[in-house]
Amino acid sequence: MAEKILEVENLCTQFKTERGLLKAIDGVSFEVYRGEMLGIVGESGCGKSVTSQSVLRLYNEKNLAVYSGQVRLEDQNLFELSQKEMQKIRGARISMVFQDALSSLNPVFTVGNQIMEALMIHQNISKKEARDKAVEMLRLVGIPDPEGRFYQYPFELSGGMRQRVMIAVALACGPEILIADEPTTALDVTIQAQIMDLIVEMNRKLNMGVMLITHDLAVVAETCHRVLVMYLGQIVEEGLVEDIFDRPLHPYTKGLMASIPRLDSQKGEKLHQIKGTVPVLGKIPEGCRFAPRCPYAGAECRTKTPELKKINESQKVRCHLADTLSAPCA
Amino acid sequence: MKKIYLKIAVLSMAATMALTGCGGNSASSPESPAASAQAGDPAGGTYKETLHIAVTQQSPSLDLHKNSTLIARQMCDGTVWEKLVTLNANAEAVPELCENYEFSDDSKTLSFKLRTGVKFHDGSEMTADDVVASMNRWIEGFSSAGSMVGDARFEKVDDTTVRIVGNAPLILLPAMIAGSAQPAAITTAAACANEDDNGFMKDYIGTGPYKFLEWKQDQYVKLERFDDYVSYGTEGEAMDGWAGYKGAPTKYLEYDIVPDQATGTAGIEAGQYDCIFGVSDDDYPRLEANGELTTARSQSGSIALIFNHKEGIAAEQYFRTAVNTAIDCDEILTAYAGGGYELGSCYMDAGQPFWNTDAGSEHYNQKDPEKAKQILADNGYAGQPFRILVANLNGMDKMAIAMKSELEAIGIPVELNVVDWATLIDYRKDPSVFDMYITSFAEVPVPSLKLYFGANYPGWSDDPKLAELFGKMTGAVTLEEAKASWEELQAYSWEYLPIICPGHYMGMFAWDKDLEGVNMYSGGPKFYNAGIKE
Amino acid sequence: MREGAIPIGLSYVSDGPDEMEQLRKSLEKEQRRIQIRRFTKNRGSVFGLAVVTVMVMLAVLAPLICRYDPLALDTVNRLKGSSAEHWFGTDSMGRDVFARVLYGARISLTVGFLVGITTGFLGVLIGLYATTNKVADNILMRICDGLKAIPSTLLAITLMTVLGADIKNVIISLVVVSVPGMARLARGQAMVVKEQTYIESMKCLGAGKTRILWKHIAPNIISPVIVQVTFVFASSIITEAALSFLGAGVPAPAPSWGNILNEGKGVIYTAWWLVLYPGAFTALTVLGLNLLGDGIRDFIDPMSN
Amino acid sequence: MSKFIAKRILSVVPVLLVVSIVIFSLVHLVPGDPAAAMLGDLATEQDIAALRTRMGLDQPLARQYFIWVGNLLRGDFGVSVVNNETVASMIISHIKPTISLAIYSLCIAACIAVPLGMIAAKNKGSAADHAVTAVSLAGISLPSFLLGLFLMLLFGVKLRLFPVSGYKGLEEGLGAHLKSLTLPAIALGFMNAALMMRMTRASMLEVLGSDYIKMARAKGVREFSLMAKHALKNTLVTLITVFGQSIIQALSGAAVVESMFAIPGLGQLMVNSIGRRDYYVIQTIVLLIAVFNVLVNMVVDILYGCVDPRVRVN
């Protein structure tokens, strides 16, 4: 196995709200290895975005979020750093690509300017060097006529182009880890594929760890090495892509897999659905969090909180019934 | 019978007036303004260069011939312009730019012997031609004068004499020249001819102790001492009314236009102004108690509640009588002016003691709602609404509010129409829209200038007996005769009720206690002898 | 608010249409509950609502609360300060200021309310129909631009002088002054809604013009209009007071806050209570309405702030 | 850009047409006329009627309108009823105090409001934020005439720090000039300041909550640069709008404050002119303000383009 570059241990993020502290993620632990692509999947609101932004401490710690646990970047606990030191990590060693490039790129600065800015903050280089490097980055992410595009504003570019620009901004300083938070959700299907290809290509070229946050299981299946499945602020299952897709252990993962439309399914056959909806964060059920929606849930599931147990070399699951359900299901 | 007014006569009268405390002025400050109206003495010390006088409004024009705005007179009458005659403390016309004047025996011919050596502000000397041009322009611009003299005009007799020959006795004309709302200011013949598109004088050239310097719209009017001024009286002697010596101790008079009363009051307390006009009754006691200030108040005019005699319910005599019987003038005037009024049934104000009479006072301020109800019932009053038209200017609408409450108590439903002043001037022309409107009349020197006796004046008092008595007064050959007719007229007027005169309003002023020599005779302070010694 | 908003959404894997409907309803209910809580949690808007309610109560109950007729003169007791008989003192005609302020609330609130409602209605009417016809739109909007280009206080004073002093005319003047802004807002919103697909689909279904305007577009532009109405309500109270302060508002003897202030202006140095109380009531009410308006806006559209 | 400006200037024409018709009809519908005002309180009807004819006020309204517009186009604004002064010179002499007052009040407003609004947004929920919010709410709810009365009483009479009234021109020295305008400028500017504070805070909050600020933070931009570069430039659009509105407000809303503090500015001239039915003055001032209004909006739009590239293209 490759070198471990990021280690998240027992990460909890709580939000200060009108109703007091609200635990958005609760005890998340995982690692990212150099050169790997780690997929994080789950329904909206499961905490995958919060996890990724907590890693970079992007939430305002004064009046919004309370973090606990550890995020270690090569033996350095990010939660112990000052804001100033944190600024040196962001964009330089860990970068992030957001979902909506239109709103995430500053509308009043040219794209070139925004790439240059990242470079000039972190690297002690002249304006001209920064400019050349920025153009280089634009070329690298596959933007035709990078010199011309350099002076354009985000709104003048197409959706796919903007996403490429954002990736260029993120990669400008050659980070060790790229967090891509639903990078393709806002794009057309054809563009989605191009962007995913770009991310995979960059992952290989630059040998960095990529955390890909998405709810698109197909994308995960095609691109990722390992997968985390999150439900209500916790990791419910972790494993290699093959494990998760072929032998899901957690009933929730099973539900997710079953709900992927398949070419071989009968016409008119109803897609599988997971009954019920994700509960509101404030109303987390006792016992197993998935129990109310779980078709297999027994008495123990409703009272006792399950632990994330290691099942085999690569797979972990958070379910009391993991052993009994290990047989592949429908 | 010849009446010749001479300088000597004036002086002796002035002495008497000074002893008796000067008739019309009622000054409440310990330092009576009349007593302090000692002529200022520029040679006897240095004076503060500029007096800042806060006034509440500005006039559309300073052309006194054609414009009847009080503030224009307050600033310029006697200060910038002088007249052939002016008023003494008894409101009699006494010489100013003439040596003397005389009537023929039938009082139809009035001639003036002019003073010589009088200089205009443009440096020229006053001639008979200037006087004739000025007087005739005045007659044409002032329809009250026009209606008195008919088509008669002034003419030059010789270089120092002018005269007018009327079709009727002109016994009231000198007082009108001296002190009407549009006084007969003497200017040059050239200035008379130089008019703007609307017929107003363009150049302000007079013979007074101050010359017009600058007028900044809505900011100030500035006057400067006229060094070639030749005064009529003798230096050092007390003034008598507006007559007598003018010393101009202060170099500049600056009338600052401060529309907001409260602002003006605050300004004098902060020492920003040397004198303010238009103090409200509510501020007056405070300013009076202020050791830094001198305050003065005097009757400045009378209120007129004018009935519509042409149409509607007020055209009925019984109704007017009922209203007059019911109302409580004290309450109405308190509502309007707080303590800033004086009761009195005489239509003329305290500044004209000659014309003072209590004829008809038994009908005044009866406060008898029961009797009024009876009058209404006896005459079959059917509850027609009584429409009062009033302007929100200076709180005049408060009088209407008080009347409304009084009249509704005797069963007369009152409809108020509160408008701005310019609207009132327009609406009052239409007899179908009101039964009464409220206005006020600044002091006039003679009762013939009380416009509401005229059948054409809005209110339309078209009564044969009233007209007859008015004619008798204006046609009188002597002042005594005129006075007698006036008493008769006022007595009848309180029965017929062309208007109700509930009383007199006070002009209230305050100035720096070091400011001496303010002339408080009639119509507000004059500063031609005023100054602050340094 | 936005930073704290935690995404709560529908799962992409979900139940059948019936359950969807149920789910939507329960979510809406939850949404409403959150809105109400958001409104009540916001101390400002609760305070605003309380102030406005108290003012309305005082105005409505004025005859029961006041011992004096606001119009009854008592010139002997003019300009007296606060006392057991006259809580807020008396004015220059001896009238009870407490009674005048409370009855003044009736007039000021009525003026403000009617101006707000009328402006809202006319604004929506003009705004909606402006979207139906290019020529009408151009003409209406040019007129609105023209009216907006004239300073509102000056326009209102001039209108009042033309129409004559009367409460009805105060309302008309203020409506004329505030409608252009409202019409522009409504038109802008309607233009956006009109372009949306569901309106297109309504058209395809053959719905009549009037029906589309009032049944489908109007409800969708009403939220910002309601918010704007509360602000017009507040600003009308101020403008009415300013008009009366300049002597061109609600005519005497009827009390409105503005004309009590106008009277008080002249005697501020001796009878400060004539300025203080109506002034405080005016400021407080306007404050309440502004807070309420903010609250309503957050309630309707949590993203706006 | 020049095409854009030309188009905007052309769009002024219908606005001015509407304004001129509205104000002309209103002014002439008002009862009373300048003739009566010119002759004073005790003038007789005959004298007034004669003057009215002389002034052409007995002509049909439409004719009077076209005469007026014709004269306007020739640059002749007419003559005031006061002292026969031309409207142009009257406006010139009255516009200086108004401009001074407007600039002064805007400076006070902007210098206080913008930084405070930004601080409040940056520290949302803090005591400073609550204070700013409270002050701005108070400002929005406090009519300028009430504030003016209060200031006059406190600073003019009780403390004697500032003159209560009386305008001092710039020629009497900058110090005296500013001193005479301080209270009115505060009275006039407070509401604008409140509005600016509110808008600055709101739009700053919106910007700070936006994705591109998060993105900027994620790429390691320092907090100061985040506020001063990324956030401010995006807030400028709102600030420019509020500022434009405030300029118009300060110029057109000065009527009450000017008459209260006896400042001989356009607002006071306007109110006085309504009182004396000075038709030409009223009409010209309203037209002038309308033109100014449109011009300010145009400048605001042009500045938008400078600040926000998205507007430039549309």
Read off the CATH number of the domain in which B267 is found.
3.40.190.10
Name the least confident of A62-76, B65-79, C32-46: C32-46
B342 and B456: one domain?
yes
Q: Which two tokens stand for residue B233?
A: 């009286």
Helix/strand/coil (H/E/C) assignment for every residue in B178-227:
HHCCCCCCCCCHHHHHCECCCCCECCCCCCCCEEEEEEECCCEEEEEECC
Quote the CA–CA distance of C258 and C240 in Å, as a whole number. Answer: 6
| B403/B528 same-domain check | no
- Report pLDDT for A202: 86
Task: Give residue D143's pLDDT.
Answer: 81
What is the pLDDT averaged over residues B483-497? 95
Selected residue with higher pLDDT from A278 and C190 = C190
- Best of B279, B420, B425 to mutate (most C CBs within 10 Å, chain C): B420
Using CB atoms, which residue from D22, D143, D157 is nearest to C150? D22
Looking at the structure, do residues B222 and B322 belong to the same domain, yes or no?
Answer: no
| Interchain pair B338, C270: CB under 8 A | no
- Inter-chain touch A121–D222, beta carbons under 8 Å: yes
Contact call for C6 and A49, based on CB within 8 A? no
In a domain, B263, yes or no: yes
Query: CB–CB of D14 and C142 under 8 A?
Result: yes
Q: Are the Cβ atoms of A153 and D220 closer than 8 angstroms?
A: no
Give mean pLDDT, residues D258-271.
83
Q: List C residues 18-47 in contact with A (Cβ-Cβ < 8 A).
A: 23, 30, 37-38, 41
| Confidence (pLDDT) at B531 | 92
Q: What is the pLDDT of residue A226?
A: 92
ipTM value of the model? 0.75
Q: Are A78 and A86 in contact (CB under 8 A)?
A: yes
Task: Enumerate long-range contacts of C107-110, CB under 8 Å, 24 or more apart.
Answer: C107/C167, C107/C250, C107/C254, C107/C255, C107/C256, C108/C237, C108/C240, C108/C241, C108/C256, C108/C257, C108/C258, C108/C282, C108/C285, C109/C55, C109/C56, C109/C59, C109/C237, C109/C285, C110/C167
Pairing of strands B515-516, B531-532: antiparallel
- Is B3's pLDDT higher than 60? no
Confidence of residue B295 (pLDDT cuts 50, 70, 90): very high
Residue C71 has its nearest CB partner, among B265, B400, B405, at B405
Q: Which residue has the tokens 């808008």?
A: D199
CB B383 within 8 A of CB B415: no
Residues 144-183 of C with CB under 8 A from B: 161, 164-165
Chains B and A in direct contact, meaning 3 or more beta-carbon pairs closer than 8 angstroms: no
pLDDT above 90: percentage of residues in chain B: 63
Asked if residue B84 is part of any domain, the answer here is: no
The answer to whether residues B371 and B443 belong to one domain is: yes
Check if A117 contacts D (Cβ < 8 Å): yes
DSSP string, D20-54: HHHHHHHHHHSSS-HHHHHH-TT--HHHHHHHHHH
Among the partner-chain residues C164, C268, C271, the one whose CB lies closest to the CB of B419 is C164
Residue B41 has pLDDT above 50, yes or no: no
Top-confidence residue, A183 or A280: A183
Chains with ≥3 CB–CB distances under 8 Å to B: C, D
Cβ atoms of B148 and B172 closer than 8 Å: yes
**Mean pLDDT on A71-75:** 87
Q: What is the pLDDT of residue B50?
A: 93
**Rounded to an integer, what distance in angstroms lies between the CA atom of residue B47 and that of residue B249?**
6
Q: How many CA atoms lie within 13 A of B361 on its CB side?
A: 11
Distance from CA of D280 to the nearest CA of C (A): 14
> For all residues of chain A together, what is the average pLDDT?
85
- Sign of the CA dihedral with B379 first, then B383, B387, and B392 last: positive
The answer to whether residue B78 is domain-embedded is no
At B356 the pLDDT is: 92
Interface contacts (C, D; CB < 8 Å): 117
B367 — contact with chain C (CB < 8 Å)? no
Taking an 8 Å cut-off on Cβ atoms, the answer to whether C164 and B417 are in contact is: yes
Q: Which of D44, D85, D153 sits opposite B144 (nearest CB)?
A: D44
B142 and B91 Cβ atoms separated by less than 8 Å: no
On the question of pLDDT at B37 being above 70, the answer is no
Closest CA in chain D for residue B267:
D164
pLDDT tens by residue, B170-222: 999 999 999 888 899 999 999 999 998 888 899 999 999 999 999 988 789 99
**Cis ω before C253 (30° cut-off from 0):** yes
Is residue D312's pLDDT more than 70?
A: no
Query: Which residues from C are below 8 Å from D29, CB to CB?
Result: 162
Q: Shortest CA distance to C182 belongs to which of C135, C243, C132, C121?
A: C121
Domain that holds residue B467: 299-506
Test D218 with A117 for CB contact under 8 angstroms: no
Nearest by CB to A274, which of C6, C8, C13? C13
Nearest to B197 among D30, D79, D163 (CB): D79
In D, minimum Cα distance to B215 occurs at: D83
Q: C-alpha distances in angstroms, A195 versus A43, A156, C108, D90?
A: 22, 19, 62, 69
Q: Is the pLDDT assigned to residue B464 strictly greater than 90?
A: yes
Q: Which residue numbers in chain C have pLDDT < 50? A: 1-17, 303-305
Q: How far apart are alpha carbons A152 and A133 in whole angstroms?
A: 17
State whether B259 and B392 are in the same domain: no
Residue B18, pLDDT > 60, answer no
Chain C neighbours (≥3 Cβ pairs under 8 A) are A, B, D
- Contacts with C16 from chain A: Cβ below 8 Å: 273
Q: Which of C44, C162, C275 minimises the CB distance to D149?
A: C275
The highest-level CATH class for domain C43-304 is mainly alpha
Chain A CB contacts of C12 under 8 Å are 43-44, 215
Say yes or no: B355 and B502 in one domain: yes
**Residue A266: its pLDDT value, please?**
65
Biggest CA pair distance of chain C:
82
Within 13 Å of residue B136, how many CA atoms lie on the same side as its CB? 20
Tens digit of each residue's pLDDT (9 = 90 or more) over D107-130: 888 888 888 888 888 887 788 888
Q: What is the pLDDT of residue B10?
A: 41
Interface of D with C in 244-283 (CB under 8 A): 252-253, 255-256, 259, 270-271, 274, 282
Poorest-confidence range of A226-235, B336-345, D90-99, D258-267? D258-267
Higher-scoring residue by pLDDT: C7, A10 = A10
**Residue in chain B lying closest to D44 (CA):** B143
**CB < 8 Å from B in window 252-281 of C:** 252-253, 265-271
Answer yes or no: do C13 and A256 touch at CB < 8 A: yes
What is the predicted pLDDT for the residue at C141? 86
Question: What is the number of domains present in chain B?
Answer: 2
Query: Per CB distance under 8 Å, which residues of A are interface residues toward C?
Result: 15-18, 22, 24, 43-45, 49, 59-60, 64, 215, 255-256, 259, 272-278, 280-281
Q: Please report the number of interchain residue pairs, chain A to chain D, with beta-carbon separation below 8 angstroms.
A: 80
- At B348, which CATH number? 3.10.105.10
Count of Cβ atoms closer than 10 Å to residue B147 Cβ: 15
Statement: residue D166 has pLDDT above 80: no
Q: Do chains C and D touch (3 or more CB pairs under 8 A)?
A: yes
Residues 6+ apart with CB under 8 A from D131: none
The pairing of beta strand B220-225 with beta strand B252-257: antiparallel
- Collapsed DSSP state (helix, strand, coil) of residue D115: helix
Closest CA to A104 of B531, D217, C242: D217
**A98:D215 CB<8 A:** yes
Structure tokens at A49: 């975005």
pLDDT at B510 exceeding the cut of 80: yes
Residue B224: which pLDDT band, with cuts at 50, 70 and 90? very high
DSSP string, B231-249: -SS-TTPPPBTTBS-----
Whether the CB-CB separation of B332 and B505 falls below 8 Å is answered with no
**What are the chain D neighbours of B424 within 8 Å (beta carbons)?**
32
pLDDT of residue B526: 93
Name the amino acid, one letter, at D62. Answer: A
What digits encode the pLDDT tens for the residues A300-318?
A: 888 888 888 888 888 888 9
Strands B161-165 and B210-216: unpaired
Contact A177, A94 (CB under 8 A): yes
B323 and B263: one domain?
no
Please, which pLDDT band fits residue B14 given cuts at 50, 70 and 90?
very low
Q: Domain for residue B353, yes or no?
A: yes
B53, B55, B219, B439: best to mutate for the D interface, most D CBs within 10 A: B219
Average pLDDT of span A190-207: 87
| pLDDT band per the 50, 70, 90 thresholds, residue B470 | very high
Q: Are strands A4-17 and A20-33 parallel, antiparallel or unpaired?
A: antiparallel
Mean pLDDT of the residues in chain D:
84
Residue among B335, B416, B417 whose CB faces C93 most closely: B335
Which of B140-144, B269-273, B450-454, B465-469 has the largest mean confidence? B465-469
Neighbours of chain D (3+ CB pairs under 8 A): A, B, C
